Structure 1
Amino acid sequence: MLNPRVIRLLLSIAILLVSGTVVAHPHVWIRFAARVQMQGTRVISIAEMWRFSEGFPVQLVGVDALPDNGPLDAKQTAIFREQAFSSLAGAQYFSHLFADGQALDFGDPTGFRVSVDHGKLVYTFVLPLKMPIDVKAHKVSLGIWDDSFFVDYEPDGANAVTIEGHAAATCTAKPFTDHAHPIFNGIVVPQAMAISC
């Protein structure tokens, strides 16, 4: 007779197979950096950089050739914005800013740029908050992830998230495991940053 723990494990695997979850996995890999723009103790915007893994299918976007290094021209940037960036608005550009556990809304992104750095595609842009949030009055956290895990986001180095702008000297960004917002049907627990002053 099988051990009850083994039976539970087999049942879990069967449920995952039936639901199709097991076949899902990242298809796009991005290393990110985020600069939390502050005025005093209020977060006003998030400036982000996404560095795609090599092999981003630029042909699907409709751009024939990219420079070896440097920024794309205005026409190519507009194509990327239309074909491979603006559609992410419904997902809040995979950027999750929470105040006391409630998701905050971003306005339209500004400063969208596309460049190539050592063969890798790079997006930079700024997400302004619709309403700035005071981190002294609320528990604030920032995470960058795709709930479906189709896109895998990883921090670009140990100091991928920084505080900038005219922040109070006491403001910090500290990493933590965000158990309150599991992704990929609860299988993956993302990393996030606690923003406080």
Structure 2
Amino acid sequence: MLASALPSAALAHPHGWIDLSVEVVTDADGNATALHQTWRMDPFYSLVVLEELSRGEEANLDEELDQLGHEIRDNVAAQHYFTEVRLNGERQALGEVTNYTALARNGRLHFMFRLPLAEPQPLEENELTYQVFDPTYYLEVVHEAEDNIIRDDALTLHGERECSLSVEPADPDPELIMRATMLDKDESGEPGLGRHFAETGVVACR
């Protein structure tokens, strides 16, 4: 879980969220090769973490953020980077994240990384979809939005290929919603719960 990479004080807030933006990266042939993701942590979560990292007279925030980024990468790697990618409904294997950074911007903690696909995947006449979610639903992941409207830059496509881009809202079963709301403040949902609350990014090039 991402929270395990953060200072213990952050655990006092059980239901944080991540504002997400994704760029689908393509190669010269128009094949999808990676998802460049930016996770913008919620203000309270960010405040607690940044205050923790700044403690001490000799604290170097840049160095602390570098270490935090490394810890977050290692922890979410065990959870497939919170990401599932499918091409025409078939789940795709992912590569290792080696390009990543953590930084503070306008009081918010950002974690940015390039998640490669194990093999380039053709977009022409295909539909690529992805979901980004915390499996235990400790953190909610939602695309960047203003006034509950998904921003145009929340999902972008690198390159000039003509494709339609959209973000489909989650549609969880009411029973699952009830189960999630009944979790105690120090509890996380069972593995897989977060998938039911995940938005779906769609890149359709048919």
Same fold, judged at TM 0.5 (above): yes
Name the structure 1 match of 2:7. none
Does the Cα contact within 8 Å between 1:163 and 1:172 map onto a contact in 2? no
Deviating 4+ runs (over 6 angstroms): none
Deviations 1:106-144 (A, max 9, x none): 222233111112211111111111101112354321221
Offset at 1:55? 2.6
Unaligned runs of 5+ in 1: 1-24, 67-71
1:175 equivalent to 2:167? Answer: yes
Moved more, 125-134 or 136-145: 136-145
Q: Match of 1:161?
A: 155
Among 43, 49, 62, the alignment partner of 1:58 is 49
Structure richer in helix, relative to its length: 2
Structure 2 CA distance, aligned partners of 1:185 and 1:124? 21
Mark the CA change 1:123 to 1:93 in structure 2 (over 3 Å): closer, same or farther.
same
1:9 maps to what in 2? none
SS of structure 1 residue aligned to 2:78: helix
Determine which structure has more spread, i.e. the larger CA radius of gyration. 1
Structure 2 distance, partners of 1:150, 1:58, is 16
Question: Gaps spanning 5+ residues in structure 2: where?
Answer: 1-12, 146-150, 177-191
Give 1:121's aligned residue: 109
Among 120, 131, 144, which residue is 1:143 paired with? 131
**What TM-score comes out, normalization by structure 1 length?**
0.69
Code of the aligned partner of 1:190: A
Aligned to 2:193: 184
Helix, strand or coil for the counterpart of 2:77? Answer: helix
Question: May I ask how many residue pairs the two structures share in their alignment?
Answer: 163
Is the partner of 2:24 in helix, strand or coil?
strand
Cα separation, 2, equivalents of 1:59 and 1:122: 11
Q: 1: CA distance between counterparts of 2:98 and 2:55?
A: 25
Greater per-residue strand proportion: 1
The 8 Å contact of residues 51 and 122 in structure 1, kept in 2 or not, is answered as yes
Aligned match of 1:8: none
Q: TM-score, normalised by structure 2?
A: 0.67
| Residues 176/91 of structure 1: CA separation in 2 closer, same or farther (3 Å cut) | same
For residues 44-70 of structure 1, what are the alpha-carbon distances to aligned partners after superposition, in whole Å with 9 as ceiling and x for unaligned?
11111111012324289x73449xxxx
Q: CA deviation at 1:33?
A: 0.5
Work out the CA distance in 1 between the residues paired with 2:86 and 2:80.
12
Measured in 1, the distance between the counterparts of 2:202 and 2:14 equals 26
